[in-house]
Structure 1
């Protein structure tokens, strides 16, 4: 009688062979343009910020567009980084336009970002909550399942998921934790919701992307215990542009791999994901939804832009002409 382990091994090999022989799911190219005829609603917080600055979305758009149009060095940096990461530079431009139209106002000169970067290095920043550093916090036993992940993206994503499941809004070991995002509680020492620099990256996103940036651009890996280096990275245009490109490339890659959509031809979709974050979970949700739709005899749903991505697609001719 054949050994039971050999039978199981043979069965596993046959199953793997059958899966390999299955026809691959065709990847659908998401066409250019917006799926929504009119712009989806802009969040109230964005409208409030714009009113408080006594400006308009159009004025803020023109400000970031003029910076891009008049600064050939910035355009050259964007084009170079885009080539390194194998993406169209308009994806980076779209993210910049969305951030500076709806979230913050752009500085008039690129040099201002360099000056700000130096000032943050000099402030002796740290990532902590009520005296507990992030380094000590992630050594708590709840994070033991994350140790298996060696790459920064999966490691910090795991830690973020543990925060949501075990700490957010809960008392643990006699300590009460806020009902707020991981990035807001531990990674924004000045005020919640804060992001910085030309690309308006959060420190947590930078930590997630640091391995990819090290691999593609050769920049040193970031360490959460060295907060000043993280802030300098997201403030300095020469350092933050690779992190923007890595974030956008990851969104394109994960939508192709998980949801069978090629979003590389639609900067409004990549800008949307840059704005919302969570491209992995969003790709999985879309894939699951489309499996159910197909099972019910319906057509799969294409990814859709939000208000931020809608603007990018609406202005695409003007933005593409920059390169």
Structure 2
């Protein structure tokens, strides 16, 4: 058995969790070659005269060379019942394809403090997010927990506001998170885990319950930014995002993805695990009705790299 195969097999055993009728997604990539990397990621890397390989080496070295960070990753992973490889995979994906890793974690602590009292707010053209989601269109979402609550709100926004004019106000044909939760510039993510504010809010109840951090408030944007910029707290939010993704695919779509870090990393990259799990469930229901085999979750370009480098990452967490 190759070293990679041995690691993959061990990972499956280590991550095995009660999944009822859930179908285990096997380790490794479903795609023989890496899916296309988006042009935006290529452009950002070219602007810094870097390469994806160089950026991967930098974030891998940051993790491998910092025992304190390794210990924090292990602690966060243990608290949320996931493998540290899932957190490492998300870190590698974000800092390979989105931003360069900062050389010193202390820089993130300094940035966290700067955002805390920045006076920033989540709003669109003067309409605060708390007023927007109080509209009657969102009434069906109010009984949901945070993860499903914000997923529900995203769906309502897409169906009834995105690209439309409602009550005399035109809403952009853009994502909910970009319209209301990125006041600095569209597409911005923050901190070691490169989280966006909407993602952090969606797992705030989980992080409060497991890690004891105060629940985030959409009316206090500075506190949201400070939380995701803090290297200690951001690992808890990363772990919560990963945990909820694994749970959503098990409970909604009927797949246990815990033994495939590339698929887990893909969901960390694309977001909305509940909505995507529901879409996969509906697609497979149609496939079954047509006599076709179900479609397994599969990795994108970002998750493909994680699976491809799994042995390299596993060496950091023996």
TM-score (norm 1): 0.89
SS in 2 for 1:304: coil
* Distance in 2 between residues matched to 1:97 and 1:251, nearest whole Å: 18
Match of 2:10 in 1: none
The number of residues matched between the two structures is 299
Q: 2:49 aligns with which of 48, 51, 54?
A: 54
Match of 1:32 in 2: 27
Match of 2:258 in 1: 264
For residues 216-255 of structure 1, the aligned pairs below 5 Å read 216-255=210-249
* Distance in 1 between residues matched to 2:158 and 2:292, nearest whole Å: 34
Show CA shifts across 1:71-116 (max 9, x none).
1111100000100000001001000100000011110111111111
Unaligned runs of 5+ in 1: 1-23
Unaligned runs of 5+ in 2: 1-18
Q: 2:296 aligns with which of 282, 302, 306?
A: 302
For residues 1-323 of structure 1, the aligned pairs below 5 Å read 26-149=21-144, 151-323=145-317
Tell me which structure has the larger Cα radius of gyration.
1
SS in 2 for 1:259: coil
Measured at CA, do residues 282 and 157 of structure 1 come closer, stay the same or move farther in structure 2, by a change above 3 Å? closer
Show CA shifts across 1:177-204 (max 9, x none).
1111111111111101111111111100
Measured at CA, do residues 292 and 179 of structure 1 come closer, stay the same or move farther in structure 2, by a change above 3 Å? closer
Match of 2:8 in 1: none
* Distance in 2 between residues matched to 1:85 and 1:111, nearest whole Å: 25
Paired residues of 2:191 and 2:230 also in contact (CA < 8 A): yes
* Aligned-residue offset at 1:258: 1.9
SS in 1 for 2:203: helix
Show CA shifts across 1:214-255 (max 9, x none).
111111000000000000011001111111111111111111
Runs of 4 or more, structure 1, over 4 Å off, are: none
* Aligned-residue offset at 1:54: 0.6
* Distance in 2 between residues matched to 1:290 and 1:223, nearest whole Å: 37
* Range that drifts further, 284-293 or 40-49: 284-293
Match of 2:16 in 1: none
Measured at CA, do residues 107 and 167 of structure 1 come closer, stay the same or move farther in structure 2, by a change above 3 Å? same
* Distance in 2 between residues matched to 1:111 and 1:48, nearest whole Å: 28
* Distance in 1 between residues matched to 2:310 and 2:61, nearest whole Å: 15
